[in-house]
Chain A
């Protein structure tokens, strides 16, 4: 329309036809937030009904809740989940806090490298790392256990990788990069003069840290800790790969377990009920997070000056500090991944030795089912293109409606778009399954197609996407659009010529970030994938479930190698967007 108006300047702009772009954006917003609402509702609905859904007579009942709350095992799982989450958070912060302090407050050498490594470590699929830990610590095939048993003539394996504590530590090491980045931001926000004033007042350095620095940072650190605990609460990869075979459950894996019984049909009502319990608990954690986050700025002392903290000289502690940071990367990432590579090259797992070296073979790779690998690769590629694109289109629409219109109820759109952050991935997965099986059924047959994955991935990333587009849009002064409007530009033109170009760098960064998360995602497809629409991560998962560890490690390694160019691309984009940077 706008181009028409431009070609026929005789026509005054006011007479232009109806501008359907705002309506389109509103439609997209309703679709996106509606999908969130539908997915949550269906779980809730099924938890209160009896019988196989789709039956002509539906009975509303509290039986599932009675069953779940009457079962002692539910409490056991709950306790496990709490413990797992607590160990995860403690481990992540025990490692992240000193590292963030080293980066922000000392003359630690090579800070940019550490920041880059941390950001990349965030993206390494945690199921691949977990698989590496299986090869290190499994009671029967774990290298460290076997080695120690051999050397000390032990009867039993000294380490148990499948207990809640070890799983929590491993998850904690996986989440350390995230905790690190959040902590560094908090540290950076503090006026260093607060600490200096304590020193002037006669407080020794440790007293100043204890009585001033930590206290001032507490609200911010607390918010970060709750955030990590929420992720630990919903984590699937680590407890699934390490704990499932030994029937040691957290909530995520328990939901999966109940959904895939070894015999008989799954009790969908119980699955839905467990999901509801999980959502309620996760929602509580998210509420606590939002609360803590709102408390944090209370202590922020704004002076308008860029803070230039005193950089402590490490001196003789320097080598110890380097050892700590390098040690973290080696133990938490490098060692498991090397084990993964090692395992993928052997017909069966053996301790590294010359003899073992001779039995090295590419059999695990050659024997991978080619056709399935090809299909998984294609599916993953399709997802990596479609998911970020759709997520960002929906996010831009939601942000525009929420921030740039005066529509009633736009606060609800914002809330619903934020909701996926609080919903554990496994619940999304379950909800999508229930939706496809019992509601859409034959009317819109998406079960077994790539579209069900596209839908659930995009909706699950909506909270991340809208947070990014919101902050990008907020930074664009409304007058830039208003001046275009005064010139007679339509909403579509404003969007295309002004908003999207200005949001460009943020959108590019968010796009590639979502694409990489899509690549490494295991929890979302685990319930809804079939052999026809499986992504690559699900292929690895299938091998793990079948205890085909050789094939699993080969597939995981292949996946890691294919990821490298994307990581490189991400690194370039992120560096240009200024997202990877020490002070």
Chain B
């Protein structure tokens, strides 16, 4: 397992200081696939490099497989070559002066106790077979395609059977099709080996499809963590709601709260009128909130049906055909609402329509 407690890390350069990680705690049980997701520059790579021992944090504690490898309090610092980890770099970092075999054998040759030659050969072959590179042993490493280099990097990271595997945007240098293929392959391999994996990406599709648990980061902090489905369905803040998928946001003030803890409903005064939304139960009357609702959850209702709560009239502002969907923008009062429809839905620019915001999909997020 990997344990990170209250990690802080500051880069000091000639141009000043920059705190890249501002107190992050993570617990990854054995065998879990854990993803750090966040916008560029939020500190994902930094956390990974701290776990690997490539950067020295300012404070906190890092535990790998029950062994404390860093602790500012106890003054512990284990250098990277003693941490028994596997890592795939964004640039793959394949050693260009070695063959495929030598690249994969390298970690075994520096392992204690050092396996004998026959065993090294055997384990390299197994590792290469795992990533479908069997037979390429004697190829000089620079003569591999991008996808093959990526697999080679994975084989090299796994060959010494490390307790944890660190992946830093391993797919970002691949083209779209290969990326999809490798998403499944990486997941399959880590699952088969049962290795604890910390994965870093800024692609939400990778995080959502691959992770057991994911964390959304912003500006050096973890904003929310949980299973992918939970994060998608119940973002706890506007940042997550916007970063994962797309959302419509309406700012407002709570005028009334009803219901019990956990499933309470708030009436919110918004620029387009009163709207009912679910809250976490801690919100009080008078709180400023942001209501988030995903475009695919907004529904068009017949204009002739009797008016109901959470329904508003609007005019169609824009319609864009994107293959399997229609992307619409509807003007409701001063606000623009994004909405997704089936291509068969007949909507025209300028038409007057009626929108419904189903209560179960409206989340009132504290500001």
Residues of A participating in the B interface, judged by any CB pair closer than 8 Å: 191, 193-194, 196-205, 207-208, 211-212, 215-216, 218, 298-299, 301, 303, 305, 310
Contacts and interface: CB of A to CB of B under 8 A. Distances in A.
Find the residue from A199, A200, A205, A208 having the highest chain B CB count within 10 A.
A200
Nearest to B85: A200
A78 B261 CA distance: 94
A103 to B, nearest CB: 13
A203 B91 contact: no
29 contacts: A194-B93, A196-B52, A196-B93, A197-B87, A197-B89, A197-B95, A198-B106, A199-B53, A200-B81, A200-B83, A200-B157, A201-B81, A201-B107, A201-B156, A202-B81, A202-B107, A202-B110, A203-B106, A205-B79, A212-B95, A215-B95, A216-B97, A218-B97, A298-B96, A299-B97, A301-B91, A301-B96, A303-B173, A305-B90
A200 B91 contact: no
A199 B80 contact: yes
Interface residues of B, number: 31
Q: What are the 6 tightest A-B residue pairs by CB atom distance, in nearest-first order?
A: A202-B110, A201-B107, A193-B93, A197-B93, A303-B91, A199-B80
B86 interface: yes
A516 to B, nearest CB: 29
Contacts, number: 83
Interface in B171-220: 173
A205 B81 CA distance: 8
A199 B96 contact: no
Contacts of B84: 202
A298 B95 CA distance: 12
Given A191-B91, A216-B97, A303-B91, A200 B110 contact: no
Interface in B219-266: none
The secondary structure that dominates the B interface is: loop
Nearest to B112: A202
Find the residue from B96, B112, B142 having the highest chain A CB count within 10 A.
B96
A204 to B, nearest CB: 6
Nearest to B105: A201
Contacts of B106: 198, 201, 203, 211
Contacts of A201: 81, 106-107, 110, 156, 160
A200 B86 contact: yes
Contacts of A310: 54-55
Contacts of A207: 110
A473 to B, nearest CB: 31
A200 B142 contact: no
B94 interface: yes
A301 B81 CA distance: 23
Given A199-B80, A299-B142, A305-B90, 6 more contacts: A193-B93, A197-B95, A200-B83, A200-B157, A212-B95, A310-B54
B349 interface: no
A215 B93 CA distance: 14
A203 B108 CA distance: 10
A303 B91 CA distance: 6
